[in-house]
Amino acid sequence: MLTIIRFSTLIFALLCVTSATANTDTFMAGPVIKNYGKHAKVQQDLKLDKNIVFKVAFDLGDQGSVGKVNGSIETLARFINMHVANGMPLENINLAVVVHGKAGFDLLKPSLYQEKYQQKNANHDLVQALMKNHVSIYLCGQSAAYHGITNDMVMPGVQVALSAMTAHAVLQNKGYSLNPF
């Protein structure tokens, strides 16, 4: 019985990997953030009202792999790209990300990241592109203090909040919904 369960689990895992890697060539970056945020064209049943104004907050607590783009940061680029590609005006997309825990290290200035990890901060260009497209980035001040990150250590434009909890509360009061991903 245990062998059947293990075999079934293996088959399920292989199917998931196969389906996760199938058709990746149909994903494209852009049109707004050119090198990030790949998305696919899909047949939609939930029609997108192009006049709606999105105000969405994301939560990020996990640091990415050293020297690689943090996929959770790239999610914001995907959100922007896929909606603009489907006809939504960029000015109708208001995004914020609240960063806490060790994910704060992904917001370090390039020279400090290089010094800490002996690797280039692969998140730098993406973070700059997001901020250029009006994405607000808030760093939890409590997490920053715990990890020894000071305001002058993070990329210009990153805003330090009292806490992640505070940032989320303020954003919610401003009408932002919390993205569950």
Q: What 8-state DSSP symbol labels residue 49?
A: -
pLDDT at res. 150? 98
Q: Are 112 and 71 within 8 A, CB to CB?
A: no
Indicate whether this model's pTM tops 0.75. yes
pLDDT at res. 180? 83
pLDDT at res. 93? 97
pLDDT at res. 140? 98
Task: Give the CA count within 13 Å in the CB-facing half-sphere of 107.
Answer: 36
Q: Are 80 and 112 within 8 A, CB to CB?
A: no
pLDDT at res. 121? 97
pLDDT at res. 125? 97
Q: Hey, is 91 helix, strand or coil?
A: helix
Element (H, E) at 136: strand 136-140
pLDDT at res. 23? 60
DSSP E strand stretches across 41-132: 54-60, 93-99
> What is the distance between the alpha carbons of residues 79 and 177, in angstroms, rounded to a whole number?
14
pLDDT at res. 13? 39
Which residue bears the tokens 């969405």?
56
Pick from 97, 98, 105: nearest CA to 146: 105
What stretches in the chain show pLDDT beneath 50? 1-20
Q: Which two tokens stand for residue 3?
A: 């062998």
